[in-house]
């Protein structure tokens, strides 16, 4: 059994859609796992997965791992700064609540904290920023608290922000502790656990709407809708699309940046 055949057979059982994994690192991680378990082949691993729910979760984490970096897709953060957050705060919010789903090593939520500190806090002195960042991978979450990043993760940060908020130590860029303290990290399974309520902005990029099956995408989208306050916003990945039934839950707000607004029945 070859790797692509293995994925074709096993992805539906994991609630994932089959896709060709171009990154060789994914295949290497799967092969290392097979060796760790003392199994001889993809076929033997497939049989193990079918019988072992915990191994199903482990493999799903391997297959959905994403590469993250600070200010990934700069135009998205610019739109959040100039249009999305001002629209939310026009409703006299005293707390701006943000949820970053699938936060990996923390680059996305920390980018939002930096954006707030650098561009927005001075215009909204009476507003408290609350950022919740979640992931299912405990190993990645442990790394977030250190705030240590390789050069590849910080390349898109403007030079003045990098100089002010990071220290270069032993080959890593270390984010200042006051910025790290602005983000709360939690382990959370967006498929099997309940969402967090009263959010104003949810970012779910390059996870659910890339890897999950259509049914699970719809399930996650419903959870996000229930999480968001009326007329608040969802951001998805640059190359992602929402399930076809999304117009009952969201309407496009900024099409180029893949930002959607929660559908308001009161206005329609």
Under the banding of pLDDT at 50, 70 and 90, the label for residue 264 is confident
Domain contains 68 = no
Under the banding of pLDDT at 50, 70 and 90, the label for residue 63 is confident
Q: What is the mean pLDDT of residues 254-268?
A: 83
Domain contains 262 = yes
Domain contains 151 = no
Confidence (pLDDT) at 23: 58
Confidence (pLDDT) at 22: 53
The DSSP annotation for the chain comes to --HHHHHHHHHHHHTB-------HHHHHHHHHHHHHTT--SHHHHHHHHHH-HHHHHHHHHHHT-----TTSSHHHHHHIIIIIHHHHHTT--SEEEEEEES-TTSHHHHHHHHHIIIIIGGG-TT-EEEEEEEES-HHHHHHHHHTEE-HHHHTTS-HHHHHHHEEEETTEEEE-HHHHTTEEEEE--TTTSPPPSSEEEEE--SSHHHHB-HHHHHHHHHHHHHHEEEEEEEE--TT----TTGGGTEEEEETTTTEEEE--GGG-
Confidence (pLDDT) at 25: 76
Choose between 4 and 201: higher pLDDT. 201
Domain contains 170 = no
Domain count, the chain: 2
> Do 100 and 29 belong to one domain?
no
Domain contains 85 = yes
> Do 46 and 82 belong to one domain?
no
Model confidence over 89-116: pLDDT tens digits? 998 889 999 999 999 999 999 999 999 9
> Do 59 and 90 belong to one domain?
no
Under the banding of pLDDT at 50, 70 and 90, the label for residue 66 is low
Last residue of a domain, one of 11, 34, 63: 63
> Do 30 and 127 belong to one domain?
no
Confidence (pLDDT) at 84: 98
Q: What is the CATH number of the domain that holds 226?
A: 3.40.50.150
Domain contains 86 = yes
> Do 231 and 262 belong to one domain?
yes
Last residue of a domain, one of 44, 63, 82: 63
> Do 205 and 118 belong to one domain?
yes
Last residue of a domain, one of 63, 85, 103: 63
142 sits in the region (left: phi over 0; alpha: psi -120 to 50; else beta) called: alpha
* Structural domain span for residue 128: 74-145+178-267
Under the banding of pLDDT at 50, 70 and 90, the label for residue 145 is very high
pTM attached to this predicted model:
0.86
> Do 40 and 126 belong to one domain?
no
Domain contains 161 = no
Q: How many CB atoms lie within 10 A of CB 216?
A: 18
> Do 120 and 184 belong to one domain?
yes
> Do 134 and 90 belong to one domain?
yes
Domain contains 49 = yes
> Do 17 and 43 belong to one domain?
yes
> Do 99 and 34 belong to one domain?
no
> Do 56 and 86 belong to one domain?
no
């Amino acid at each position: 059994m070859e790797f692509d055949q293995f994925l074709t057979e096993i992805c539906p059982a994991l609630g994932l859609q089959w896709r060709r994994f171009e990154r060789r690192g994914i295949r290497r991680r799967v092969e290392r796992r097979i060796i760790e378990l003392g199994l001889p082949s993809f076929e033997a691993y497939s049989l193990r997965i079918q019988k072992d729910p915990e191994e199903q979760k482990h493999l799903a984490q391997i297959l959905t791992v994403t590469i993250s970096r600070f200010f990934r897709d700069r135009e998205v953060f610019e739109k959040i700064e100039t249009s999305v957050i001002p629209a939310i705060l026009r409703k006299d919010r005293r707390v701006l609540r943000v949820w970053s789903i699938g936060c990996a090593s923390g680059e996305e939520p920390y980018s939002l904290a930096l954006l707030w500190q650098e561009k927005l806090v001075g215009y909204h002195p009476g507003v408290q920023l609350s950022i919740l960042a979640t992931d299912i991978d405990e190993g990645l979450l442990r790394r977030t608290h250190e705030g240590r990043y390789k050069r590849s993760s910080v390349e898109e940060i403007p030079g003045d922000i990098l100089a002010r908020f990071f220290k270069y130590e032993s080959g890593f860029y270390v984010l200042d502790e006051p910025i790290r303290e602005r983000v709360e990290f939690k382990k959370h399974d967006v498929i099997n656990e309940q969402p967090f309520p009263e959010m104003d902005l949810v970012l779910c990029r390059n996870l659910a709407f890339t890897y999950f099956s259509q049914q699970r995408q719809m399930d996650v989208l419903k959870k996000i809708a229930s999480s968001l306050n009326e007329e608040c916003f969802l951001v998805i990945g640059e190359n992602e699309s929402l399930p076809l039934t999304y117009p009952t839950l969201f309407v496009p707000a900024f099409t180029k940046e893949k930002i959607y607004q929660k559908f308001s029945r009161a206005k329609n």
